[in-house]
A = this chain, B = another copy of it.
Amino acid sequence: MRTICLFIAMIATAAAANAQQTSDSVVFKRIADDIFINSKAYENLRFLCKQVGPRLSGSPQAEKSVKETARMMKELGADTVYLQECMVPHWVRGAKENALLVDDKGGTFSLNVCALGNSVGTGKKGIKAEVIEVRSFKELEQLGEKGVKGKIVFYNFPMNPTNVETFRSYGEAGQFRGRGPSMASKYGAIGVMVRSLASNIDDFPHTGATTYNDSFPKIPAIAVSTRHAEYVSSELKKKTGMQLYIRTECEMLPDVKSHNVIGEIRGTEFPNEIITVGGHLDSWDLAEGAHDDGTGCVQSMEIIRVYKQLGIKPKRTIRVVMFMNEENGLRGGRKYGEVAAADKTNKYIFALESDAGGFTPRAFGFTAKPEVLSKLRNWVPLFKPYGVYEFSDGGGGADIGPLRPLGTVLSGLRPDSQRYFDHHHAANDVFEMVNKRELELGAINMVLLLYVVDQYGL
């Protein structure tokens, strides 16, 4: 009997949910159609990439991007647009950087390299030393100070091609870029070269932040293109006494003032419940920061435009945030989190980040209590026609991570990841690599998720 009652209750609930979902599916379609037809995301991205360009924290272009995205959000119809001040690191690459593989007869081969972000430079004379290849920290430890001291360590750990999710391989390989320089320095290395974190074989070196451990001397660190990583490795197998010459002019300057850019649509019923959505405005200096993360920025802004266009008034306050300095400091995200923690007026109920490229969306990941995730999953069938078929457990984004202690439900857009690491942090992360429809599908699904959260709460 209990089973039957439960069954009837389930049917009744399902019927009510169905009626609700039918009317929501109509709104979903209006939102999707409007974005496909009228979106400004692609043109805003073009502007960010071509008229502003690379936006490394502390650069003039980063400052320009603050002004320009504030303008964009005003033009899109935000109720209020304001800046949130934060201090950011000011790392500069300098004019010249190069590396040569030098054989025992003095023959040289020029490598496609770039300094890792936050790295110290070599000084004008550069550094030259024997190069030793390792594929793990264990190998490095086994070599010890005896095998490493005075040398340049070449971390040649390829991204694992067998992970369908490329972010998993990025996570595995990323430790060498992050901790590799200090780990090598611990054993007395004078420099580090890391195989680029790229899922393909090509000629672009991929930069990205390295993180020094203050216990050890800071040594210069560069990334080498995957093709040249393969080349160096094959040369080291054939010849002995190979040396590497590295010259970089990069340096860390004093912190400078910068800003998060925030645009809001004020909630009509629960204005003190804040729904945050954003991407990061800064990019590396080598490229236009198209997929990383211009796409996340312009997608996030779309909700302002489409809500105004369709006359949708949110119950809760929608806050669109262009986070500064995700790439080499996360100062914007941290500042936003600090301000939120100190904010006694508002409750930060939900935050969504798009920072995995402007590719066709497949899923959202959530950091939420099981019952919240379970409730959200009722909506998946409505998302499926727009390409998102899964709400998975775990996810968010670096910039919104600092909201976690506040109990904010976090979510991250999960687009198809196959192409992301061909471009990530490299000179080919340009506007032309973004497909308009894929970008818009991401924006559509983001707006749909925000719509559901705003309308029905958590």
Partner-B contacts on A (CB < 8 A): 32-33, 36-37, 161-162, 164, 166, 199-200, 360, 362, 385-387, 389-390, 416, 418-419, 422, 435-438, 441
- Whether A418 pairs with B360 at a CB distance below 8 angstroms is yes
CB of A377, distance to nearest CB on chain B (Å) = 15
CB of A393, distance to nearest CB on chain B (Å) = 15
- Whether A164 pairs with B32 at a CB distance below 8 angstroms is yes
- Whether A164 pairs with B387 at a CB distance below 8 angstroms is yes
- Whether B162 pairs with A33 at a CB distance below 8 angstroms is yes
Beyond contacts A164-B387, A360-B360, A419-B437: 18 other A-B pairs, Cβ-Cβ < 8 A, are A32-B162, A36-B161, A36-B162, A37-B162, A161-B437, A164-B386, A164-B441, A166-B437, A200-B436, A200-B437, A360-B418, A362-B387, A387-B416, A389-B389, A416-B416, A418-B438, A418-B441, A419-B435
- Whether B37 pairs with A161 at a CB distance below 8 angstroms is yes
Residue of B nearest to A435 (CB): B419
A-B CB proximity, top 10 nearest: A418-B437, A36-B161, A33-B162, A36-B162, A418-B438, A360-B416, A389-B389, A419-B435, A360-B418, A418-B435
Which residues in B have their C-beta under 8 angstroms from that of A161? 36-37, 437
Residue of B nearest to A390 (CB): B389
Q: How far is the CA of A316 from the CA of B37 in the complex (A)?
A: 49
Q: Choose one: B385, B418, B422, B435; the contact of A164 (CB below 8 Å).
A: B385
CB of A140, distance to nearest CB on chain B (Å) = 25
Residue of B nearest to A384 (CB): B390
Which residues in B have their C-beta under 8 angstroms from that of A362? 387
Q: How far is the CA of A360 from the CA of B387 in the complex (A)?
A: 12
Which residues in B have their C-beta under 8 angstroms from that of A387? 164, 362, 416
CB of A318, distance to nearest CB on chain B (Å) = 24
Q: List, sorted by A's number, 5 A–B pairs whose CB atoms are closer than 8 Å.
A: A37-B162, A387-B416, A418-B437, A418-B441, A419-B438
Q: How far is the CA of A33 from the CA of B435 in the complex (A)?
A: 29
Residue of B nearest to A39 (CB): B161
Which residues in B have their C-beta under 8 angstroms from that of A199? 437
CB of A149, distance to nearest CB on chain B (Å) = 36
Which residues in B have their C-beta under 8 angstroms from that of A200? 436-437
Q: How far is the CA of A162 from the CA of B441 in the complex (A)?
A: 10
Q: How far is the CA of A32 from the CA of B161 in the complex (A)?
A: 10
CB of A154, distance to nearest CB on chain B (Å) = 23
Q: How far is the CA of A269 from the CA of B441 in the complex (A)?
A: 47
Residue with the greatest number of chain B CB neighbours at <10 A, chosen from A32, A360, A362, A385:
A360
CB of A435, distance to nearest CB on chain B (Å) = 5
Residue of B nearest to A422 (CB): B435
Which residues in B have their C-beta under 8 angstroms from that of A437? 161, 166, 199-200, 418-419
CB of A438, distance to nearest CB on chain B (Å) = 5
Residue with the greatest number of chain B CB neighbours at <10 A, chosen from A33, A36, A161, A385:
A161
Q: How far is the CA of A416 from the CA of B418 in the complex (A)?
A: 12
Which residues in B have their C-beta under 8 angstroms from that of A33? 162
Q: How far is the CA of A33 from the CA of B169 in the complex (A)?
A: 14
Which residues in B have their C-beta under 8 angstroms from that of A435? 418-419, 422
Q: How far is the CA of A32 from the CA of B32 in the complex (A)?
A: 34
Which residues in B have their C-beta under 8 angstroms from that of A390? 389
Q: How far is the CA of A362 from the CA of B388 in the complex (A)?
A: 11
Which residues in B have their C-beta under 8 angstroms from that of A418? 360, 435, 437-438, 441
Q: How far is the CA of A438 from the CA of B417 in the complex (A)?
A: 10
Residue of B nearest to A32 (CB): B162
CB of A444, distance to nearest CB on chain B (Å) = 9
Q: How far is the CA of A386 from the CA of B418 in the complex (A)?
A: 11
CB of A424, distance to nearest CB on chain B (Å) = 14
Which residues in B have their C-beta under 8 angstroms from that of A419? 435, 437-438
